[in-house]
Chains A and B, each alone.
Chain A
Amino acid sequence: MSLTSLVPLIGIADVVIGLSLGSRLFLIAVGLSLIFGVLGVLNFAHGGFYMLGAYVTLAVVSNVVDNFWIAVVVGALAVGVVGAAIEFSAIRRLYNRVDSDLDQLIVTFGFVLVIHEAVRFIWGSGSYSIDPPDVFNFSVTLGGSTFNAYRLVVIGLAVGVLVALWLFITRTYFGSLVRGTSSDREMAAMLGVDVPRLYTGVFFLGSVLAGLGGALSAPLQATSPALGDQVIIDAFIVVVIGGLGSMSGAFVGAMLIGMMQSLGPQFISAGSIAIPFLAMVIVLLIRPEGLFGGIGE
C-alpha cells in the first residue's frame, strides 16, 4: 500500500483522538517530570496516582455527588493528599542517602504494589466506566468521522494546565523558590527556604496533576487496576522523549505519543503499541537528553 493511499484514511477524528490521548499523557508526564526536575525522585507510583484519580472520581460521581466537575476536583486533590503523605512519610527519609536513587526506586515501586492492591481491595478487579458530563456528551462529526465533544474539553484543559503551570513556575514567588531550590538545594536552604516543606508541596502538585489526568480521563477509558501500569510506561516514554524535567518537553512528547497511539493502528494492525517505544529508541540514539533536554527548565 503506498503512502498516498494511506493519507486519506487519517480523518480529523484521528487527530482529535490523538491530541486527547496526548493531553491525558501530558497531565501525568508533567507531574512526573516536575517531581524529578525538582526533587530528583523518579516516582514509579505516578501511574498508580493517575489510576487513583480515576477511581476516586468514579466513586464520588456514582456515590456522593452527581456532578462530574466536583468529582474531578475531589479526585485530583485526594491524590495530592495521598502523594504528599507518601512524600512526608517515606520518600523524605531517602533524599540524603548515598544510594538514594535505588532506594527511591524500590520505595516508589513498593507504593505501586500497595496502591494496586488497595484499589483491588476496595473496588475489585473488574472495570468501571462513566459517561462524560452531559453538557459535552454529544458526538461531533467532522470530515466523515465521529468523536465525542468531551475530547475537545480534555485537550483545552491540558493546554490550560500547561499555561497555568508555566505562569506559576515563572511568575510567582513560590515558582522562583521551586526553580532556585531545584538548581541548588543547599544554597536555597541557607537562604532560609524551608526545603522539606517545599518538596512536599511540589510532590503534592505533581500528584494532583496525575490525579487530574486520571479524573479527566475516566469518561474516556475503562478504569481497572491495570490502568496504572499501562500509563506509567507511556509517561516514562513521554518524559524520555521530551527531556527529563522539561515542561514543554512533556507537552510536545505527550502530543507526539498521543498521535502515534491514534494513528498507529492505521498502519499496523497488531503491535501498534510498539511504535512509541521505537520512537523513544530513536530519540535516545539521536538526542540522549531528549528533544527538550535540560533538567530543571
Chain B
Amino acid sequence: MVTEDSDTENKYKQADAAETSPGGRSPVGRRRFLQAAGAGAAVGLAGCSGGGGGDGGPVTLGAANILSGFASLYGEEAERGIDFAVSEINDNGGIDGRDVEVLVRDTEASADTAIQQIRSLVQEDNVDGLFGLDSSGVAQAVAPQISQLQMPFMITHAATPFVTSPQGEHEDSVGNEYVFRDSNSLAQDIYGAARVAENLDATEWATIGPDYAFGYETWDYFQAYCDGLGVEAEFTAEQFPALATSDYTPFISSILDADPDAVLTPLWGADLTTFIGQAESAGWFDQIDHTLFSVGMGTDLPSDGSPLPEGEYASTRYDPFVPDTEANNSFREAYYEEYESLPTYNAEGAYRAVHLYKEAIESAGGTDPSALVDEFTGMEHSGPVGDYQFSETNQATVASIWGTVTYDDEWESNVLDPVNRYEAGPDVLSEALGDSDLPAGI
C-alpha cells in the first residue's frame, strides 16, 4: 500500500486562476487552458475506462479517509485494515493474478479536500475503484461527484442514510447507482438504539451531538423510531457543539440542568474522548441513569485501551466477537497477532471493501467501472461481519449491534457484553420509522 500526499490542490488552484484571470488577458490563455482541460478530461476518461496499470499491472484502488485532525485515528485504523487485506490478497495470488495496491489520501474531514483527493485519484492515478469516507457531511457532498466521475465508491464508515436513499426520495437524498456502503448506516444503527430504549426505565431523553448532518440526523431518527416503535419517551434537551470543540463544559452543564433520565450521544473521534473526560468530572455518570454512545465502540477509545464508562450502552458497526463464526474468529486472531489490538469497525470495513473489489473484479473479469457497479448491485457477500447482501439502494444489510460496555482485561480493550444484534432489513426499518418522512436508506 502506498500513502501519498497530493499536490493536486495547487494544480487545481492554478487552473482556476488561469480561467478566471482578471483584466481579460489574451484569449490565447483561455484557449490554451481549454485545451489543457480537454487533455485532462481525456486522461480522466482513460482512467474511468479502467485502463489502470494495464491488464498485466496491478489493480489500483483509491481510499479517502480522515488522516489528520480530531478523527485521524479513523484513517489510521482504516489503513491497518487496508494493509491487512492487501497483504492477504497479494500473498494468495492477488486479484486474477494481478497484485492489488491502494493509494490512501487524507480528506481532513473536509468536503472540498475529499472531492479534490477523489478527483485526483481518478484522473491522475487512474484508480480502478474507490472506497473510504468517515464523515456523513463529507459523504453527502461527495456522492454527487462520484456519480459524475462514474466510478464505484464503497463507503466504509460515513453513516448518513441520505447517501443510500435514491435522489428524490427526500430533499437531502443524494444516493445514486455508483455509491455503495458496506457498513451499517445511521438509520440501521439508531434503530438498535431505539430498541435499547424500549427496554430501559427512562422516559426523558436528551442528546449531545456534533453540529452537522450526523448530529441532527441521529436525533431525528431516534425520535422517529421511538414514535414508530411506541417507546414511551419525551425529548427534553438537545445540544449541538461544533466539531473539534475543546471544552464541552457549557454544553454538559446545560444537559445536566435539564436532568434527563437518559442521553443518546453520537459524538465521535477525539471529541468523544474529550467529552467523556469532561462529563466525568462534572458528575454526568452519577446524575444521568443511562448514556447511549452511538459511536462509542468506534476507534479512539477501544484502540488506546482507555475505558468507556462501564455499564453504559454503545453500538458498533462490527463486533470482533459477534457473529461467532470461523471467518470472524480467524480475522480477529490474525489481526490481533499483527497489531496487538482488536480490529475496530473502521479497520474491518476497509478490509472488507478491498475484498469486495477483489470479488467483483474477478467476477466481472476486469475493472470496467460499469461492470463493477453491476457486480456490486445486489451482491451477496460474507466477511468477518457476517453474511449480508446489498439492498436495492446499495446499502449492506448488516445488523445493528448494541451492547453494554465492559472492560476486558484479556484483550485490554472495551468490549460489549452482553451484546445484541438487531436484524434491520428494509421492511423492519420502514415500518419502525412510522409516520416520519425520513428514508430508511436501505
Q: A residues engaging B (CB < 8 A)?
A: 9-11, 13-14, 17-18, 21, 120, 124-127, 129, 139, 141, 145-148, 220-227, 230, 261-266, 269-273
Closest residue on chain A to residue B287 by CB atoms: A146
A261 and B250 form a contact (CB under 8 A): yes
Known contacts A9-B258, A222-B270, A269-B238; A139/B247 CB under 8 A:
no
B73 and A126 form a contact (CB under 8 A): yes
A139 and B281 form a contact (CB under 8 A): yes
Kindly list chain B residues whose C-beta atoms are within 8 Å of the C-beta of A129.
273-274, 277
B246 and A146 form a contact (CB under 8 A): no
Q: How far is the CB of A231 from chain B (nearest CB, A)?
A: 9
B281 and A148 form a contact (CB under 8 A): yes
**What's the Cα separation between A226 and B273 when bound, in Å?**
16
A21 and B270 form a contact (CB under 8 A): no
B250 and A220 form a contact (CB under 8 A): no
Q: How far is the CB of A149 from chain B (nearest CB, A)?
A: 10
A14 and B257 form a contact (CB under 8 A): yes
Q: How far is the CB of A272 from chain B (nearest CB, A)?
A: 8
Task: Give the A-B pair count, Cβ closer than 8 A.
Answer: 103
Q: B residues engaging A (CB < 8 A)?
A: 68-70, 72-73, 211, 237-242, 244, 246-247, 249-251, 253-254, 256-258, 270, 273-274, 277, 281-283, 287
B283 and A223 form a contact (CB under 8 A): no
Q: Which of B249, B257, B258 is the one whose CB lies under 8 Å from A220?
A: B249
Kindly list chain A residues whose C-beta atoms are within 8 Å of the C-beta of B239.
265, 269-270
Kindly list chain A residues whose C-beta atoms are within 8 Å of the C-beta of B274.
127, 129, 221-222
B244 and A224 form a contact (CB under 8 A): yes
A220 and B247 form a contact (CB under 8 A): yes
**What's the Cα separation between A35 and B251 when bound, in Å?**
33
B246 and A125 form a contact (CB under 8 A): no
Kindly list chain B residues whose C-beta atoms are within 8 Å of the C-beta of A221.
246-247, 274
Kindly list chain A residues whose C-beta atoms are within 8 Å of the C-beta of B273.
127, 129, 222
Chain B CB within 10 Å — which of A124, A129, A222, A230 has the most?
A222
Closest residue on chain B to residue A263 by CB atoms: B250
Q: Which of A145, A222, A273 is the one whose CB lies under 8 Å from B246?
A: A222
Known contacts A17-B253, A270-B211; A125/B72 CB under 8 A:
yes
A127 and B254 form a contact (CB under 8 A): no
Kindly list chain B residues whose C-beta atoms are within 8 Å of the C-beta of A13.
253, 256, 282
Closest residue on chain A to residue B243 by CB atoms: A226
Kindly list chain B residues whose C-beta atoms are within 8 Å of the C-beta of A139.
281-283
**What's the Cα separation between A124 and B253 when bound, in Å?**
30
A271 and B211 form a contact (CB under 8 A): yes
Between-chain CB contacts (< 8 Å), 16 pairs: A9-B254, A11-B257, A18-B250, A21-B250, A120-B68, A127-B270, A148-B282, A222-B274, A224-B69, A226-B246, A265-B241, A265-B254, A269-B239, A270-B239, A270-B240, A273-B242
**What's the Cα separation between A18 and B283 when bound, in Å?**
18
Chain B CB within 10 Å — which of A10, A148, A263, A269 has the most?
A269
Closest residue on chain B to residue A223 by CB atoms: B246
B72 and A126 form a contact (CB under 8 A): yes
**What's the Cα separation between A147 and B251 when bound, in Å?**
13
Closest residue on chain B to residue A54 by CB atoms: B246
**What's the Cα separation between A130 and B110 when bound, in Å?**
29
Question: Besides the contacts A9-B254, A139-B282, A226-B244, what 13 more A-B pairs have beta carbons closer than 8 Å?
Answer: A13-B282, A14-B254, A17-B253, A120-B68, A129-B277, A139-B283, A141-B283, A146-B283, A226-B246, A264-B250, A266-B257, A269-B239, A273-B242
**What's the Cα separation between A14 and B251 when bound, in Å?**
10
Chain A CB within 10 Å — which of B70, B239, B253, B257 has the most?
B253
Kindly list chain A residues whose C-beta atoms are within 8 Å of the C-beta of B237.
269
**What's the Cα separation between A264 and B211 when bound, in Å?**
15
Kindly list chain A residues whose C-beta atoms are within 8 Å of the C-beta of B270.
126-127, 222, 224
**What's the Cα separation between A97 and B42 when bound, in Å?**
51
A145 and B250 form a contact (CB under 8 A): no
Kindly list chain A residues whose C-beta atoms are within 8 Å of the C-beta of B256.
13, 145-146
Kindly list chain B residues whose C-beta atoms are within 8 Å of the C-beta of A225.
69
Known contacts A141-B283, A146-B282, A271-B211; A226/B69 CB under 8 A:
yes
Q: How far is the CB of A10 from chain B (nearest CB, A)?
A: 8
Kindly list chain B residues whose C-beta atoms are within 8 Å of the C-beta of A125.
68-69, 72
**What's the Cα separation between A226 and B241 when bound, in Å?**
15
Closest residue on chain A to residue B274 by CB atoms: A222
A127 and B246 form a contact (CB under 8 A): yes
Q: How far is the CB of A280 from chain B (nearest CB, A)?
A: 18
Known contacts A125-B72, A129-B274; A145/B257 CB under 8 A:
yes
Kindly list chain A residues whose C-beta atoms are within 8 Å of the C-beta of B72.
124-126
Q: How far is the CB of B267 from chain A (nearest CB, A)?
A: 12
Kindly list chain A residues whose C-beta atoms are within 8 Å of the C-beta of B277.
129, 222
A147 and B282 form a contact (CB under 8 A): yes
A11 and B253 form a contact (CB under 8 A): yes
Kindly list chain B residues whose C-beta atoms are within 8 Å of the C-beta of A11.
253, 257
Kindly list chain A residues whose C-beta atoms are within 8 Å of the C-beta of B238.
269-270
